[in-house]
Amino acid sequence: MGNKVPGYRVLTGTYAEIWVDGELIAEAKKVELKVTYNREDVQLGLDVDSKVTGQAGEWTMTLNKVYSRYEEVRQSINKGVDKRLQIITKLADPDAVGHQIERYSTSNCWVNDLPVVSYERGALVEMEASGGFTPSDMVNLDRIK
């Protein structure tokens, strides 16, 4: 195929799955895990280059409200216990090259933002939780090559 990629090879989130602490989150609508790199400028002669000096992970997850998810996390934090989660993501689009899948396992995930009540008359109820993780605890289990 050369440098041209046919449209049907572009992956779609329709075939994504998300597990938190080993439990499939069937009502998940969207998930994002990203790593941000801290950089410092390094001057070499007249050129200014940069060097990575740290990294931080962030996650967000949007759910259709079906269950009272993560109430145990809220209760745990109320008791002074900083509960950590494991998030596993899987993308298995049947049109992926060679029917390959992409999976990540991310441990040491913490919660920064946990909406408890957010209702709007005439609208579907969603919740968006967010938090962080240590990037070195993110492992690529399978990748699409």
Average pLDDT score, the chain: 95
- Does 95 map to a domain? yes
pLDDT tens digits along 46-69: 999 999 999 999 999 999 999 988
Is 1 a residue whose pLDDT tops 90?
no
In this prediction, residue 69 carries a pLDDT of 87
Asked whether the whole model's pTM tops 0.75, one would answer yes
In this prediction, residue 3 carries a pLDDT of 80
Q: How many CB atoms sit inside 10 A of residue 11's CB? A: 15
- Does 2 map to a domain? no
In this prediction, residue 54 carries a pLDDT of 98
CATH number at residue 112: 2.30.110
Percent of the chain exceeding pLDDT 70 equals 99
What is the distance between the alpha carbons of residues 84 and 18, in angstroms, rounded to a whole number? 16
Query: Structural domain tally of the chain?
Result: 1
- Does 93 map to a domain? yes
- Does 1 map to a domain? no
- Does 87 map to a domain? yes
- Does 66 map to a domain? yes
- Type and span of the H or E element at 60: strand 47-64
pLDDT tens digits along 26-35: 999 999 999 9
With a CB cutoff of 8 Å and minimum separation 6, the contacts of 78 are none
Distance of CA 52 to the CA centre of its chain: 22
Domain that residue 79 falls in: 7-142
